Chains A and B, each alone.
Chain A
């Protein structure tokens, strides 16, 4: 999804100096003239005292790991030289001095291969880089950069090599790659980098760098990880450590007008949990952000005081900033503001449709669908602050008052842990009904998975005189397993040659199960063509001239033809992935698209043949009827120990009603053997099978009862997960009557 609009607007006026300082150039070897500078510029980084980097042995406990990072240190100094005059008329640039030191011991061929090419930035003559290999005997061999090759794009540079500045500012500097000679398992690879970057800050009020989420564990164990941020006392720094991660500490810098914020983590292994892990909620992590600014120009940003190490915000601070951000989404004085343009476009449409005569209920619903229609024809979704702003302002035009609700994303953290503007989520409450941001297919009031059951505040506009603001804590609605359903009604039979199982599967999705599946179901269908009906709009052809209408009709015809041709392959590919076998696809039909209140559920039918479900035993056949539920999760031996709490996304119920027609001349056996039932407080798996009217009828249910489950309940979860897995391998027997 698109980044925060305000953020974009803030950075819009800033030219990123390092990007434009050197012209784009074709891929080539490094200019030899650079070589004199580049190593000299980085030499001092290695010379700085750092005990963590003098280590030559890695812990025995990590001998079986592919590699061990001995040290990783990033130091970023923000514009020491401009401290006296930042944002003064004569001040053009803010400078960033970045030092990186990285040292890794490579244990096997895999890590040697992973580090056989390394990357460095050389975007200005001040940038520096040097690397060396330290052999097991201690001999240090410098890496010659002479054959470094310039990269056309820095997009795919691995984590450890991209400058912090480029990562946080989105700048695209010039990078090179070099093949490391003479690198072998057992070697230590060390590099030091120094970069200087500048931002042209003329005309901008402040510089807000992207929020950073530093997860302590990496792909390799790490013995020492340090991040130093040094800024002057006019800038803002905030950080919050979660899940047991160390905290940033504030220290005095050498320069009295500067502060250092230092994060140090040691002895961090690789995380092993595989299934149902939400990294941000459980892994030790520190999040932080630097905002370089003077106080007069940072309205609307969630920040603390200058020089303060802010690690959280009070309810009042959060509410105030959220409102300011919300209120500044549009700007009535700027007709080219994209939010205003969207708002104006909606108002224009509503006027044409005679919306003033609509009832309040009709108006609310139609405004939601009108915004959705705008979203349908955008390449990106709106963020929920902009949605809330549009929705509430459009309602206000009809004298419908609404309330603003703020919360946090439940995959990132709790409301109390909000640290960045981007983490604030918005929704609108009208009377007792909540309205959340929409996708192409949302219905008014439909819940959003990332906001389920979250703590939230209803906030009012601050009183201009008293500077007070009403804040009412609420809990957003949750959704139980029964609210998020998938029901597969499967009619099946043997093919004439008894080699395949013929399947007609009607799938009905509700709640979040629908939300998560409607995108693929509606893909390559022409839902957008009739979307205007949802808000009682006019057909696009209504005001077209004959020539335009002809063009429109021909376009629609072409699109329909193209989608009709592409859809079967798309559905077939999906089914083959689902059942992990080649299938023969027959048909796909949507009975209810789930995009209107009248057709609230998503219902579609797929017809196909599965060749992998039938086995022969003499004249008898075995049919893997339970396998029609598709492959089930297998939790392997080494995954059965659990370190962290479990997150399954959302509670849900999946039901299969399988009706298998017993072929003429055959009897079915082994039906009772399919029956099973495992249920506990985390979930359920049950299978009830019986013969009925010449068919085997099998009702299978799998329920994830809660979205989040404590790690000590992992065994309970395994009980029903294993039951589902085991059940999917059961066969029934078809025996000839004679």
Chain B
């Protein structure tokens, strides 16, 4: 729940997806009415709009200027600490690049941010007239959160003339400066000029860390005047930040500033902010310790969990899996309580909690069991920062770290059906901040490549008349196994049988699976194996006595990642994976294969493909492997990526020809 200016806000798209406004305006125009108050537009503005419309052809609205001015003061937060209070005064001007255009301007707030003033004004001639209407207000509690304090105020802005202009004026107060973490330059609309100006008093030490500034022209000014230093960051001509399917997190690519309040003087005393990682830890740990755990109340449940378990490893697993299986994820995030974990006993009695609450309970249960477990903060892969950056935006998740027999285990209780020792991809490669009382450890969660997360499919078909029949076996490991369990175990029991069938049918509508057998699906530690008999009808094309068949069941999902000409940014799959197939086809003794496709092999840093057919007598075997080793495909790599996908597609589209000997 860090505070940041969200580029690509869903709200913006939600409100601006409709074309109804065009139709409404047309209705009034047809009726000869003037109800939309076609405001007098300045000729100069029209001329500017004409010019900019040529530049921003895909956009209806341009933000001509966005100026945010931050001043700093001293105050107290809800915990009665002396803190830095930040006031933001913003003026944002918009111009319509089309005759009819509309947008919704949102300002987000919560218990750390007060909106003091929020006004909309429309330009008439050369002057702005402020709207009397108050902004709309609603909760923006996201999916997966039961309740939080996130809210938005917003103004719909409708333009009925090219060159029409509107101005937004905002005054906001951040009650605890630590929670203003970062400011992005890009917005969902193009911005002519984005200015962030900070008037920093002498009593305050603050750092403005530039992130992703390389390759962008961002002007930085610093002026000292009357006991203040003014820092000004200006970026011009910023294209609109559009939402795209599976895009890479903005923090990885878009320029932004991280605000780091290091310290401040108050009545002769220097108070710490976030100067070093130690300071961030001290803050996190203070809130963690406010959870108010009462270990003794966990004992009866722990005793039940450990009943019959004799080895340490069995006991650790029993505790970890019990929390995974019995605590539902339900999140309450409200002010500081959004950062203070619910007590272990509270989570245990309710059998629900958020990541902090679940990590707290798991840590306490393990500790009570005699194990060296620690509450841990971590940033998921959606966040690019290291723990060396002391800011609240570095961590957005909580887990448990267990030290056992000289090894660290990172236990994420929110990941259902995860075996001990296997980590969700979303935290891999990330630094964990491990609470150890007054001290802390920083450890990196090991990174895996796609090979550990495999769907291996083995099928042996026999061609008889027009039908392929045979046996098929699918083996899932790593995250693929965990994902299977999460889907299978959480679906209605009445749908589980069909789900298993579909798993063997490769998404092929002609395949009918039956006689299904599985591995022990209650055991999350062993690979998931599903096997059965399949009939593939309506699949063999017999033309002129020859048969044409494909036995290559290309993973269709990759087609969605073929970038088209409009794609602006790269992809982030949020996962690494491996698809491996070994499929054979046996044909009658009096037949033979012709036109066998050539072997294909492609490899790059992030992905690889190998496909090969081999014939032995009247049996052909396809061995194919696709590995996505890195979840991110950058735009700079698109040409290579497209060739890769194209090559897989071409290889998989081959049909085998079967002719009589």
- Enumerate chain A interface residues (CB-CB to B < 8 A): 26-27, 29, 64-66, 107-113, 116-117, 147, 149, 152, 177, 179, 181-184, 377, 524, 528-529, 540, 543-544, 548, 551-552, 554-559, 561-563, 566, 581-582, 614-620, 622, 634, 637-638, 669-670, 673, 725-726, 729-733
Contact = CB atoms under 8 A, between A and B. Distances in A.
A27 B654 contact: no
Interface string B129-146: 000000001110100001
B349 A117 contact: no
Interface stretch (B220-228, B248-256, B484-492): B484-492
A108 B489 CA distance: 8
A26 B542 contact: no
B146 A66 contact: no
Q: Chain A's interface: helix, strand, loop or mixed, by majority?
A: mixed
A107 B494 CA distance: 10
Most chain A CB within 10 A, of B23, B137, B328, B548, is at B328
B141 A27 contact: yes
A616 B38 CA distance: 60
Contacts of B29: 540, 551-552, 555-556
Contact of A617 (B98, B650, B655): B655
A181 B655 CA distance: 56
A548 B509 contact: no
B559 A582 contact: yes
Contacts, number: 155
Contact of A555 (B25, B544, B564): B25
B143 to A, nearest CB: 12
Interface residues of B, number: 59
Given A149-B147, A556-B26, A622-B655, A179 B330 contact: yes
Nearest to A670: B543
B602 interface: no
B656 interface: yes
Interface in B9-45: 19, 22-23, 25-27, 29-32, 38
B350 interface: yes
B332 A147 contact: yes
14 contacts: A66-B493, A116-B328, A117-B146, A179-B352, A181-B351, A529-B26, A558-B162, A562-B19, A563-B22, A582-B562, A616-B650, A619-B595, A669-B544, A725-B538
B546 to A, nearest CB: 8
B600 interface: no
Given A179-B352, A184-B351, A562-B100, A617 B492 contact: no
Contact of A673 (B493, B510, B541, B655): B541
B102 to A, nearest CB: 12
A670 B350 contact: no
Interface string B333-358: 00000000000000001111000000
Given A107-B493, A622-B655, A729-B538, A528 B26 contact: yes
Most buried by B among A555, A562, A638, A729: A555
Nearest to B490: A109
B443 interface: no
B594 interface: yes
A152 B562 contact: no
B151 interface: yes
Interface of B: 19, 22-23, 25-27, 29-32, 38, 98-100, 137-139, 141, 146-147, 151, 162, 326, 328, 330, 332, 349-352, 489-494, 498, 509-510, 512, 538-539, 541-544, 548, 550, 559, 562, 564, 594-595, 650, 653-657
Contacts of B26: 528-529, 555-556, 559
A616 B650 CA distance: 8
Given A528-B26, A614-B653, A637-B512, A726 B99 contact: no
The 10 closest A-B pairs by CB, nearest first: A618-B595, A558-B99, A670-B543, A66-B492, A181-B350, A555-B29, A617-B655, A149-B147, A182-B351, A110-B492
Given A116-B352, A582-B562, A622-B541, A551 B492 contact: no
A618 B30 contact: no
A730 B538 CA distance: 8
A408 to B, nearest CB: 33
A183 B146 CA distance: 16
Contacts of B559: 581-582
Contact of A540 (B30, B330, B509): B30
A184 B541 CA distance: 51
Interface centre among B31, B494, B538, B539 (most CB of A within 10 A): B494
Contacts of A116: 328, 330, 352
